[in-house]
Amino acid sequence: MNILLATSEAVPFAKTGGLADVSGALPIELARLGHQVAVIMPAYRQTQFCGQKIERLGLDFIVPIGSKMVSGHLSRSIMPGSKVPVYLVHQDQYFDRDQLYGSDGKDYIDNCERFVFFSLAVLEAIRLLDLPVDVLHANDWQTGLVPAYLKIVHAGNPRYQKIASVFGVHNMAYQGQFWHWDMLLTGLDWKYFNWHQMEFHGKLNLLKTGLVFADSIVTVSPRYAQEIQASPLGCGLEGVLQYRREVLSGILNGIDETDWNPAKDRHLPAKFDATTVSLGKAACKAALQKELGLPQVAGAPLVSAVGRLDDQKGFDLIAEVIQRWVQTSDVQWVILGTGQPKYHKLFEGLAQRFPDKIAARLEFSNPLAHRIEAGSDIFLMPSRFEPCGLNQMYSLKYGTLPIVRETGGLADTIVGYGSPLAKSAPANGFSFQECSPLALSETLRRACDLFRLNSEQWKKLVDTGMRQDWSWGRSAKKYVDLYLKALTRAGMTKPDNPVHEGAMKVTPPLAV
């Protein structure tokens, strides 16, 4: 197959979140399976510092944005360690900025215009580059217009009419909602601004647009695909997802095993695999304790949490449990991340008061994150919602047992010790359902008791997790199946499909 992945970010060119990791890893794995894959994304200011060679192609284009014509040009690079081409869309007025989507905590006011341009540029690039494309995999609201343009603007165009569109949703909370008059920027008829298609409570909604017009919809875990069909995780679009449930699926993200592999990890003081984990992990734990200024006590459970310090990630639960436990147990705690100021203040204060129990590093450090995964005994992820999650998979790979709340990708990857699921699948961690400090505390108590009192069972859980396959190779095969189904579905969908063309024509809304 010929696959084009359209994304607003991809490692190593530009990143704000998990979308960049997917967009950087999945194309390489698809290419390893023998498919022809390319990536297209905006040329942000930070792409100049990605470490990859970028060559200008001399291909210029002009697209209509509302009542004006806007020019751009294309350049080319490749994904590191592969031959996968990356096409960069240049338009300095839109993309030569300090950040990708906003600054000082606020979105750029012209974000709709910026990504209307990018969506149109994706389709122009197919023509200019003469790219053969069977599947166009668009991602998140920034490319939500791409499936719509394929179905509406290019429905009868031989170059585009056989392209199947797949729309990837990485987090339903980010929807790309804009003032209704921004509909003019899209160039699409006002008849599509209706509650069936592009309108959402009086606003233009680009995520909804992608959900409605794509041939297939995919999100980042099977459990999340179910959860978003209901409130609250559907974020108001659960009706759309219920209506399109036949084309909705969930595929777990994978982990990059060239970067996250304790047998090869350059950040670790001792390397190990499933056969040498006892010695290797003990060495990593002792080194981590020393690095963080904690007592080097092998028998004290070392519990860690890495990520955004936010209520969504369950750090309110973690904070309350730590405050309850710190004076009554020998557990050691490690916190790494940045986020809400209240958590910075809280964890800094606890670390100062209990330096032999708590180490708080309120920063982003990839090398330290690797050493924490390798040196910890237990990793906490009590998220309120988690579309996929990667840290629980890193933990399994590094012989660290995760404690997770049963939601999204956490529920799809972790089989809790003693849970009903453990009767049909091998346990590899601990889990709980109720989003409360008590539920987290009780689960942590069970984990610590097992760590201290039943080393053989603990080793069995560790061995199970380390030998499981959470690689992108596994995920990529499932994406191939999804793409084949999308191609079949696209071949059966005619341009006059009532889902797309049969909506009532509406009068443009009054200015407000």
pLDDT tens figures, 227-251: 999 999 999 999 999 999 999 999 9
Whether residue 263 lies inside any domain: the answer is no
Whether residue 429 lies inside any domain: the answer is yes
Contact 398, 332 (CB under 8 A): no
Whether residue 506 lies inside any domain: the answer is no
**In Å, how far are 22, 157, 376, 461 from 395, measured between CA atoms?**
19, 48, 9, 12
Lookup: tokens for 160? 């585009």
Contact 74, 59 (CB under 8 A): yes
Average pLDDT over all residues of the chain: 93
For residue range 132-173, what is the model confidence (pLDDT) as tens digits?
999 999 999 999 999 999 999 998 899 998 999 999 999 999
Q: Are residues 374 and 493 in the same domain?
A: no
Q: Are residues 401 and 429 in the same domain?
A: yes
Q: Are residues 207 and 137 in the same domain?
A: yes
Q: Are residues 238 and 298 in the same domain?
A: no
Q: Are residues 328 and 438 in the same domain?
A: yes
The CATH number of residue 448's host domain is 3.40.50.2000
Q: Are residues 435 and 479 in the same domain?
A: no
Lookup: tokens for 111? 């974000």
Lookup: tokens for 415? 């089989």
Q: Are residues 216 and 356 in the same domain?
A: no
Contact 375, 395 (CB under 8 A): no
For residue range 290-344, what is the model confidence (pLDDT) as tens digits?
999 999 999 999 999 999 899 999 999 999 999 999 989 999 999 999 999 999 9
Query: At 439, phi and psi to the nearest 5?
Result: -65, -40
d(CA 140, CA 124): 20
Q: Is pLDDT of 512 > 70?
A: no
For residue range 404-462, what is the model confidence (pLDDT) as tens digits?
999 999 999 999 999 888 788 899 999 999 999 999 999 999 999 999 999 999 999 99
For residue range 341-351, what is the model confidence (pLDDT) as tens digits?
999 999 999 99
Cα-Cα-Cα-Cα dihedral sign, residues 37, 228, 120, 484: positive
- Three-state DSSP at 169 gives strand
Q: What residues contact residue 8 under an 8 Å CB cut-off, 6+ apart?
A: 19, 41, 42, 100, 101, 115, 118, 139, 140, 142, 143
Whether residue 260 lies inside any domain: the answer is no
Task: Give the chain's end-to-end CA distance (angstroms, integer).
Answer: 47
For residue range 10-34, what is the model confidence (pLDDT) as tens digits?
999 999 888 999 999 999 999 999 9
Whether residue 425 lies inside any domain: the answer is yes
Q: The tokens 């004290």 sit on which residue?
A: 300
Whether residue 405 lies inside any domain: the answer is yes
How many alpha carbons lie under 13 Å from residue 304 in its C-beta half-sphere? Answer: 29
Q: Is pLDDT of 501 > 50?
A: no
Cα 131 to the center of its chain, rounded Å: 27
Query: Residue-wise over 442-460: b if at least 16 C-beta within 10 A, else e?
Result: ebbeebbebbeeeeeebee
Q: Are residues 459 and 479 in the same domain?
A: no
Contact 363, 384 (CB under 8 A): no
Contact 31, 37 (CB under 8 A): yes
Sheet of 302-306, strands arranged across: 358-361, 332-336, 302-306, 378-381, 401-405, 430-432
Which domain covers residue 98, as residue numbers? 2-254+475-501
d(CA 426, CA 364): 34
Lookup: tokens for 54? 């970028």
Alpha carbon dihedral 227, 232, 234, 235, in 10-degree steps, equals: -160
Per-residue pLDDT, averaged over 268-284, amounts to 97
Cα-Cα-Cα-Cα dihedral sign, residues 64, 66, 71, 75: negative
Contact 410, 404 (CB under 8 A): yes
Contact 246, 215 (CB under 8 A): no
Residue 500 banded pLDDT, cuts 50, 70, 90: very low
Which tops the pLDDT comparison, 51 or 267?
A: 267
Whether residue 129 lies inside any domain: the answer is yes
pLDDT value of position 417: 96
pLDDT value of position 235: 96
Q: Is pLDDT of 492 > 60?
A: no
d(CA 380, CA 373): 11
- Three-state DSSP at 347 gives helix
Helix (H) or strand (E) holding 114: helix 111-128
d(CA 135, CA 133): 6
Q: Are residues 394 and 340 in the same domain?
A: yes
d(CA 14, CA 24): 10
Q: Is pLDDT of 268 > 90?
A: yes
Among candidate residues 37, 42, 54, 40, the one with its CA nearest the CA of residue 16: 42
For residue range 176-223, what is the model confidence (pLDDT) as tens digits?
999 999 999 999 999 999 999 999 999 999 999 999 999 999 999 999
Lookup: tokens for 493? 């969908």
Q: Tally the domains of the chain.
A: 2
Lookup: tokens for 337? 């991340």
Q: Are residues 153 and 128 in the same domain?
A: yes
Bridge partner list, 68 = 65
Helix (H) or strand (E) holding 28: helix 18-32
Cα 299 to the center of its chain, rounded Å: 35
Q: Are residues 151 and 101 in the same domain?
A: yes
Q: Exposed, middle or buried, 58 (CB in 10 Å: 0-12/13-18/19+)?
A: exposed
Percentage of the chain exceeding pLDDT 70: 96
Among candidate residues 362, 259, 369, 255, the one with its CA nearest the CA of residue 18: 255
Q: Are residues 376 and 463 in the same domain?
A: yes
pLDDT value of position 105: 82
Whether residue 272 lies inside any domain: the answer is no
Q: The tokens 């028998």 sit on which residue?
A: 299
∠ CA 33-36-39 to the nearest 5 degrees? Answer: 110
